[in-house]
Structure 1
């Protein structure tokens, strides 16, 4: 009897782009792999849904959207006589599909609490190398492009630059799901204006206004969404919850945790000891493990862990103030003393509830310019090619300071 083989040329329906086609069976098999399916359980925007209730989309969503935009970009460049081989096309689609595979639960919170000294990019690379073994070396070129080691510079720029496919998807997607229309960019128009000159990924002159809009949209999305004060507080409380849990685990305290979370709480994790076993455990760790643990920790005997966990579960967060200058030591001390008295906690634990930090964002950096290809065939940095005075201002990093303390 003939065995049923699955149809691997599936079509997915995306709320932003409509139908997305999976281009071939290798990419289908990568998407089907448990490592990639885990991205369905990692939210794209962490705790932003505490501010924007619609922001529940996942890293899986984003990665599939990126693959779709990459296919569009490749066909535009080929139409403009840029030579891209079948192997390079496949490698670009795989590299952009897997660019975020190393993200931990709630995106960046794990990197700053229980997994130290190893970034999500390095974990992405470990996943890609592991998949490369399983797929008999078929990801070698994708890894080379992802690492920026391919001699054709523009291939790497499609994956990572100031106008890469990743940004073209997440700005449009995050704007759609949050309902913040200021971030809605025309990714189609930007891709249609792409070209390659002197091995650089460039935008043709008639696309200059779309690039301006893109840079301004990115700035607005950062201050209005990604660095929104409520989202900031929630993320820092989450990091403090995990730091506290890790501290208790190091002392041998018993904590409710799934097998994967238990592994990361009870073992020191760094880049030096990130083994194949660690990678396997990491591939089983997602938002569900973290949130189900936090729900249990609300009743833990450790007061600090219980209070912080309850803040997240009930969305009853710390108060936050943001200003241009750093808050004075006297103001910090005053809030610390008040918290010690009102929460009845010790001086050594007050930093979990009262803390200040700078936040910084630079909308455009001159180190990795976006080049405009003018009518004479010359390349010009967008900051000088644009008649929009604001663009020069966008190259200056904006630094603000925030302080959090109990209400």
Structure 2
């Protein structure tokens, strides 16, 4: 008997399958295989050592959940033909193919382009290569297809992307609070008036999903040590680019050198699509890691200090605050950096001021709709008794080398 599917053993879901044909061919493509070398959660392994899974794992997991969702909807009488089902699976498989090294961390640092825009360009390039077989997938990905619920399965507040990354990231970090009842939520999905809805009896599972997402952001993705490491990596790349601009030699793998020495934007990718996509597709975490390791011994004191700290986990201190930090305190941090003898000259550049925000639920992006038993449809924010409300939580942060921590703490004690 001819085999119709490739069977894989996924650590989260067990045995999953990829149908032979266009889907399997896309998985085998070098553009997709590159995702094996891009970590799903960037530098989170500095806090949770098991978080070394990749975008490759995540994309296959999202494909698996999309298959489950489509099968469940079809059993409920939702009209999804074979061509639409395949296109939705292609869209979710390739939704993250535009991610650069270390995923979100270096977005708009190494290149000024959003990963979703690059994903679309990759899909269009693959569509040329596969003779138009991705036409419908691209329409679904862009939200231009008449059956909007298919787009919502790819990108929405109950999409298969979020469903997989919460489940997968909680598994590999060991943070049990992130575990969600993905299987029950998928079985509770339905379609009303062309839109994705969740049946009323699935509301509690969705509430748990939203709560888990909020916890995962503050406990994992925005953990202060993770944020510190990611900010240091950004500083490393910015310093390397400053040296390039000043004409100072900085060894880098060829592809990384190209993006450091040229300020490439999203517009450039559109104008020179094939050339830049091919170049970008050669770039992954290993290029950055090998460069940072080499830069530990670079003669530039700022670059070597930052690189050594990142490689050997000598990370910056990070302070979170619900309110912006007082100007007087920021000035004191800068002075401490400038005057500290253990830091290289120019260390005042190491002060990073920023903020991190998270919204567990929003009404601005296809609010989750609840299908009630009487057939009416109500927004989740009105149907839930759990207090689900659209709200953005913002934390301000200061990030700086730990060498000045004792001095700042003494100043705080004196002030008290």
With normalisation by structure 2, the TM-score equals 0.93
Note the C-alpha offset of 1:330: 1.2
Q: 2:208 aligns to what?
A: 213
Q: 1:326 aligns to what?
A: 324
Note the C-alpha offset of 1:7: 6.6
Question: CA RMSD for the aligned pairs?
Answer: 1.3
1:309-348 Cα deviation digits (max 9, x unpaired):
111101011111111111111111111111112155455x
- Counterpart Cα distance in 1 of 2:329 and 2:352: 11
Counterpart contact for 2:337–2:343, Cα < 8 Å: yes
Counterpart contact for 1:113–1:240, Cα < 8 Å: no
Query: Is the partner of 1:112 in helix, strand or coil?
Result: coil
Q: 1:24 aligns to what?
A: 20
Q: 2:37 aligns to what?
A: 41
Query: Is the partner of 1:88 in helix, strand or coil?
Result: helix
Q: Does 1:111 align with 2:111?
A: no
1:277-316 Cα deviation digits (max 9, x unpaired):
1111100000000000000001011111111111110101
- Counterpart Cα distance in 2 of 1:109 and 1:383: 31
Structure 1 residue runs of 5 or longer lacking an equivalent are 1-5
Q: 1:102 aligns to what?
A: 98
Counterpart contact for 2:92–2:161, Cα < 8 Å: yes
1:62-86 Cα deviation digits (max 9, x unpaired):
0000000000000000001001011
Aligned counterpart in structure 2 of residue 179 of structure 1, from 167, 174, 178: 174
Q: 1:3 aligns to what?
A: none
Query: Is the partner of 2:104 in helix, strand or coil?
Result: coil
- Aligned residue pairs: how many? 396
Counterpart contact for 2:98–2:119, Cα < 8 Å: yes
Q: 1:360 aligns to what?
A: 357
The within-5 A match list for 1:176-325 is 176-274=171-269, 275=272, 276-325=274-323
Query: Is the partner of 1:104 in helix, strand or coil?
Result: coil
Query: Is the partner of 1:145 in helix, strand or coil?
Result: helix
1:371-401 Cα deviation digits (max 9, x unpaired):
1100000111111111113x13xx2211111
- Counterpart Cα distance in 2 of 1:99 and 1:188: 21
Note the C-alpha offset of 1:366: 1.5
Gap change, CA 1:8 and 1:249, over 3 Å in 2: farther
Aligned counterpart in structure 2 of residue 85 of structure 1, from 67, 72, 81: 81
Query: Is the partner of 2:107 in helix, strand or coil?
Result: helix
Query: Is the partner of 2:378 in helix, strand or coil?
Result: strand
Q: Does 1:150 align with 2:141?
A: no
Aligned counterpart in structure 1 of residue 376 of structure 2, from 372, 375, 378: 378
Query: Is the partner of 2:184 in helix, strand or coil?
Result: helix
Q: 2:411 aligns to what?
A: none
- Counterpart Cα distance in 2 of 1:232 and 1:92: 34
Note the C-alpha offset of 1:273: 1.8
- Counterpart Cα distance in 1 of 2:302 and 2:4: 50
Please list every run of at least 4 consecutive aligned residues from structure 1 whose deviation after the TM superposition is greater than 2 angstroms: 6-9, 343-347
Query: Is the partner of 2:397 in helix, strand or coil?
Result: strand
Note the C-alpha offset of 1:252: 2.1
Counterpart contact for 2:108–2:114, Cα < 8 Å: no
- Counterpart Cα distance in 2 of 1:267 and 1:355: 24
With normalisation by structure 1, the TM-score equals 0.95
1:142-195 Cα deviation digits (max 9, x unpaired):
011101111211111011111101000000000000000001001100000010
Note the C-alpha offset of 1:112: 2.8
Gap change, CA 1:316 and 1:344, over 3 Å in 2: closer
Query: Is the partner of 1:109 in helix, strand or coil?
Result: helix
- Counterpart Cα distance in 1 of 2:207 and 2:213: 10
Counterpart contact for 1:298–1:305, Cα < 8 Å: yes
- Counterpart Cα distance in 2 of 1:7 and 1:203: 35
1:24-55 Cα deviation digits (max 9, x unpaired):
32111100000000000000000000000000
Query: Is the partner of 1:22 in helix, strand or coil?
Result: strand
- Counterpart Cα distance in 2 of 1:191 and 1:327: 43
Q: Does 1:166 align with 2:166?
A: no
